[in-house]
Amino acid sequence: MSPHYRRFPALLLATALGALAALFAGATTFASDAAPAAAGTASAPAPGTWVDHEYRFPSMTFTSTYSCNGLIDKVRLLLRTSGARVGKIQPLCSNGYGRPDRLAQVDVHFSTLQPASGSDNGSAGAGSTGVWKRVQFGINRPYDLQSGDCELVDRFRAVLLPMFAAREVQNNLRCIPFQDTGPFGLSFEVFAPAAH
């Protein structure tokens, strides 16, 4: 038997083991994504107060370039899915509507529900009720997020998520600039309106 045929089974075995390892790693990732969703049922209602926020949100992404209205839509989606009351979103773009703009940014006015403390006596947001809910961001979760939105979701996590009452944050964002990084995930529990 020639040396080529003796090496072939070893090569085949190495390839099969590599594929099995990749499959196992993928199954582990999806299992960890599914576990919080099953445990993420809403908690008992509790009193809360609304807190207003203003922030200038630049897209600051390398992989995807957003138009002004595209950035508005994505930021609104991330905020609403997280339970925020979204007010005015003002675009600040040099290329106008509908055209990709590397410098696209938006001024965002929104409110987040915070658990009420004992010192909240008659504040403007008193009387609101909230529950802890699990939120997941990933490809098609919600439907409008795509693989190119990884950096935008990571930016949301870094600058806007701290304005929410959030806990149990699981960050599976492995964004690589200028590359489609494939599946990504961000999940957390957020104190959101009970009727959201």
**39: amino acid identity, one letter:** A
Q: What was the pLDDT predicted at 54?
A: 96
Q: What was the pLDDT predicted at 41?
A: 55
Q: What was the pLDDT predicted at 9?
A: 46
Show pLDDT as tens, one digit a residue, over the chain (196 residues).
544 444 444 433 344 444 434 433 443 333 334 333 334 456 789 999 999 999 998 887 887 888 888 899 999 999 999 999 999 999 888 777 777 878 888 999 999 999 988 655 444 455 689 999 999 998 888 888 888 888 899 999 999 999 999 999 999 888 777 777 667 889 999 999 987 5
Record the pTM: 0.71
Q: What was the pLDDT predicted at 34?
A: 38
pLDDT tens column, 130-140? 999 999 998 88
Q: Which residues contact 165 (CB under 8 A, 6 or more apart)?
A: 48, 112, 113, 114, 115, 190, 191
Q: What was the pLDDT predicted at 72?
A: 92
Give me the sign of the Cα torsion angle 87, 93, 97, 101.
negative
**106: amino acid identity, one letter:** V
Residue 116 DSSP label? P
Region for 81 from its dihedrals, namely left if φ exceeds 0, alpha if ψ lies in -120 to 50, beta otherwise: alpha
Q: What was the pLDDT predicted at 141?
A: 85
